[in-house]
Chain A
């Protein structure tokens, strides 16, 4: 597609002394304008690295390997010059990080950090930039924005800080926001508020969003489509309702089964046995086979991501159709 984000065969590898860690090894997905995609996976699945790869923020010893394609509104990002990438970041594609305490510089005031973002992409005066910043703070529901602008990050609560981070992301009305576990570090009640705000903002402004998380429950109520990642690959991809109610991949089933709910009260929580394999030593074939309850000999060969049902893909020889 020429509009929106289109990722094909994304491979981001880390070339370390101990070997090559294939953090992301062949990921394909699309995000249409205005759509919210939930990218779900446990630690080490490659979901965060995917997010950073889109923005070109992979530091050595990692890099995006040849053959990967990230097309955004028709433009190939992997081939873009550094200055072009810089212009895109913060303006057309914005990012929200996980821990707002660490993402805001503690020795600089909030207004400084917001004004510099405005002026990095638009030639406006300080007063104009400050005005935009103030409007952004109001948009995310922060009271007394003028006072807040002159404050330092550590004077805010966790939820407030994350709202500031969201405000910064929205300053230039980006077409796509990559949110990397933005609510993981917050209280559950605040989490709910932020989720609601994010959804509202996206609907209102038509911004697409990739919400990266390890918590399936979080994106179940938020995303339009869900992509499940495991050991650097997407193992299931489809509309939220489909993935949650009729999961095809054993891993997805395991994830859903391990979420506590009314049905499981009083019963032992189902767990997926075993641990994620080390990215340095991935097994031959399907990476999940060691933990899979229905693995067979055929699983020694890597399955492709097949569209087993319309709009619903899974990477499994024995996907439940």
Chain B
């Protein structure tokens, strides 16, 4: 009563049938829901300037008399409805959230892409070179991974100071090791396959073998790791900003907005922290819900 044995595949297909992946993915309602949340967040982030009732960072727009207005109230001059209320500086929460989402997603995406690039290169090189290079690189990766991301980021930012670019550096540094290890793992599996031997026999240059042949086959697991890492990056940036070591006050991300509202929590103006928090949760949970099912769908065992 065993399953049919899996036949070894001699020639590897470079790309999994995309259509089947999509249809498998759509079977799970939760995953689709997650995807919807993600699309919503991206939409909001991209079109923030167009859909925000007000530009919250232009001081000319702010009327301090409207500060700490509860959700649903109307501005003093009657022009805007503060659907989600205003904060301590009379900024419209909804607009602030849209702009904040923009920054949060931007930092998340860019840092993940950069970490992916660096990590994949390191991982593939290690897998292909093998031997001492591999051991040495992986030792570094292990050490990096054994320390909690938040501490490394904290210490780095305490030395480097505040600023979006510095946050990006910290995030990239904390994340590249995941991709390196994943890429190396996937590449090692590929390396032993016949098509790599065949390519080597054809005297293709190593870089070509690695990037044109091995890389596409590692893509599924890398995509999965990328989605998980993206959620973590966004959460990490939010945490750092909340603690006050992340983005500067002039360009608040969602984490910074939550931090600003912290002091008002106990006095009843909960919306200043609550709504940015919900927005953040929507983005992160959406990515994780979709990413979780993506992992099942892209499982290499299911693809072959």
A and B form one complex: yes
| Contact partners of A48 in chain B: CB under 8 A | 1
| Contact partners of A23 in chain B: CB under 8 A | 1
| Contact partners of B1 in chain A: CB under 8 A | 23, 48-49
Size class of the contact patch on chain B: under 10
Alpha-carbon distance between A170 and B218 when the two chains are bound, in angstroms: 52
| Contact partners of A49 in chain B: CB under 8 A | 1
Nearest CB in chain B to that of A49: its residue: B1
Alpha-carbon distance between A49 and B1 when the two chains are bound, in angstroms: 9
Alpha-carbon distance between A142 and B136 when the two chains are bound, in angstroms: 49
Within 8 A of A (CB), among B1-36: 1
Within 8 A of A (CB), among B53-91: none
A232 to chain B, nearest CB (A): 13
Nearest CB in chain A to that of B2: its residue: A43
* B interface footprint on A43-87 (CB within 8 Å = 1, 0 otherwise): 000001100000000000000000000000000000000000000
Within 8 A of B (CB), among A26-55: 48-49
* B interface footprint on A2-37 (CB within 8 Å = 1, 0 otherwise): 000000000000000000000100000000000000
A97 to chain B, nearest CB (A): 13
A52 to chain B, nearest CB (A): 10
A245 to chain B, nearest CB (A): 33
Alpha-carbon distance between A48 and B2 when the two chains are bound, in angstroms: 12
Nearest CB in chain B to that of A62: its residue: B1
B33 to chain A, nearest CB (A): 25
Alpha-carbon distance between A23 and B1 when the two chains are bound, in angstroms: 9
Alpha-carbon distance between A9 and B1 when the two chains are bound, in angstroms: 22
Alpha-carbon distance between A268 and B1 when the two chains are bound, in angstroms: 31
Alpha-carbon distance between A49 and B2 when the two chains are bound, in angstroms: 12
Alpha-carbon distance between A48 and B1 when the two chains are bound, in angstroms: 9
Alpha-carbon distance between A274 and B1 when the two chains are bound, in angstroms: 20
B3 to chain A, nearest CB (A): 11
B295 to chain A, nearest CB (A): 22
Nearest CB in chain B to that of A14: its residue: B1
Nearest CB in chain B to that of A59: its residue: B1
Alpha-carbon distance between A219 and B1 when the two chains are bound, in angstroms: 23
Nearest CB in chain B to that of A48: its residue: B1
* Top-3 shortest CB links A-B: A48-B1, A49-B1, A23-B1
Can you give 3 A-B contacts (C-beta < 8 A)?
A: A23-B1, A48-B1, A49-B1
**A contact residues vs B (CB 8 Å cutoff):** 23, 48-49
